[in-house]
């Protein structure tokens, strides 16, 4: 029960990494608030978890809906201990073919949304003198690959947002860290992995010889959420099977 009595908000909490993280946190005693745009997967995951979960539907890019998330969480639980920024989109395209709406939507969801939620969460955490923000980033926030400029730029910005929070608010008892997954077996990457020849070639770039699972990432988030990482802030934790060590 490493997270007993902790209140954790998890964006993109209905599927993939978000759902796995919610299950891991709840199993360790946390009350989890699952936030996302699609009600059905949120409610399904909350139902699977049981009484430790609450589903709230909303759009991370809309300030009024972020405020509603904070208000409903405080009304239900009274405070917020942990925020896991997991909501995100990946829409690959060569940069010279990237249209403005794709760029803007990627930045809104992957960077502006976390900014909005971080800002409002800090207003709750600062008076309490404690808080923990975990940013689910990507190895593409640290390295470049073709056809991913919008995504990589958004994740690079997110990495610096987390570091800025760590430096600015560490003296107030608030930590901020980034988890950077490599290729993970999720719905978001399913279309890419459907090209079997490409996927097998990419696996050879991973020293551990496989792609990651959602539970690999959830366990990293659990470490950063608990007291075992009490002296860790501003860190960038790759969960990538050694890809970025090459």
Residue boundaries of the structural domains of the chain:
7-184+214-238
DSSP string, 177-229: EEEEE-SB-SHHHHHHHTSHHHHHHHHTTSTTSS-B-HHHHHHHHHHHHSGGG
CA atoms within 13 Å, Cβ hemisphere of 75: 8
Q: Residue 188 pLDDT > 90, yes or no? A: no
Q: Given 1.20.1250.20, 3.40.50.720, 3.30.450.20, 3.20.190.10, which CATH number is that of 7-184+214-238?
A: 3.40.50.720
Beta bridge partners of 239: 181
Cα 19 to Cα 25: distance, rounded to the nearest angstrom: 10
Q: Which pLDDT does position 191 carry in this prediction? A: 82
The pLDDT-based confidence of 120 (bands split at 50, 70, 90) is: very high
**Poorest-confidence range of 31-40, 93-102, 134-143, 190-199?**
190-199
Instruction: Tell me the average pLDDT across 72-100.
Output: 97
Q: Which pLDDT does position 27 carry in this prediction? A: 98
Residue reference for tokens 């969960």? 239
Cα 145 to Cα 217: distance, rounded to the nearest angstrom: 21
Q: Which pLDDT does position 231 carry in this prediction? A: 98
CB-neighbour burial class of residue 22 (10 A; exposed 0-12, middle 13-18, buried 19+): buried
Cα 103 to Cα 92: distance, rounded to the nearest angstrom: 10
Instruction: Tell me the average pLDDT across 25-39.
Output: 98
Catalytic residue among 151, 206, 223, 243: 151
Q: What is the largest CA-CA distance in the chain?
A: 53
Instruction: Tell me the average pLDDT across 129-153.
Output: 96
The pLDDT-based confidence of 131 (bands split at 50, 70, 90) is: very high
Q: Residue 192 pLDDT > 90, yes or no? A: no
What contacts 13, CB < 8 A, 6 or more positions away? 19, 21, 22, 32, 33, 34, 35, 36, 42, 45, 55, 84, 86
The pLDDT-based confidence of 198 (bands split at 50, 70, 90) is: confident
**pLDDT tens-digit map of 201-227:** 999 999 999 999 999 999 999 999 999
On whether the CB atoms of residues 227 and 155 are closer than 8 A, the answer is: no
The pLDDT-based confidence of 246 (bands split at 50, 70, 90) is: confident
The pLDDT-based confidence of 54 (bands split at 50, 70, 90) is: very high
Based on the residue annotation, tell me whether 151 is a catalytic residue of this protein: yes
Average pLDDT, the chain: 96
Instruction: Tell me the average pLDDT across 86-94.
Output: 95
Q: Which pLDDT does position 22 carry in this prediction? A: 98
């Amino acid at each position: 029960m490493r997270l007993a009595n902790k209140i954790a908000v998890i964006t993109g909490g209905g599927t993939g990494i978000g759902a796995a993280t919610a299950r891991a946190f709840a199993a360790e005693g946390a009350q989890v608030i699952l936030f996302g745009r699609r009600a059905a997967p949120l409610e399904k995951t909350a139902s699977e978890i049981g009484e430790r979960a609450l589903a709230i539907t909303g759009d991370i890019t809309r300030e009024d809906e972020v405020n509603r998330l904070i208000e409903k969480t405080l009304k239900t639980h009274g405070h917020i201990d942990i925020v896991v920024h997991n909501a995100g989109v990946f829409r690959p395209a060569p940069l010279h073919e990237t249209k403005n709406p794709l760029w803007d939507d990627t930045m809104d969801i992957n960077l502006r949304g976390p900014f909005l939620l971080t800002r409002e969460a800090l207003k709750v955490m600062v008076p309490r003198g404690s808080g923990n923000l975990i940013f689910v980033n990507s190895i593409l926030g640290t390295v470049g690959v073709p056809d991913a400029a919008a995504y990589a730029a958004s994740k690079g910005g997110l990495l610096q947002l987390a570091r800025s929070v760590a430096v600015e608010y560490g003296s107030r008892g608030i930590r901020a860290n980034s988890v950077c997954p490599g290729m993970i077996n999720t719905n978001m990457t399913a279309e890419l992995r459907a090209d079997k020849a490409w996927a097998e070639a990419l696996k050879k770039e991973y020293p551990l010889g496989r792609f990651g699972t959602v539970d690999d990432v959830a366990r990293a988030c659990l470490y950063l959420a608990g007291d075992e990482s009490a002296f860790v802030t501003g860190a960038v934790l790759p969960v990538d099977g050694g890809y970025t060590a090459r």
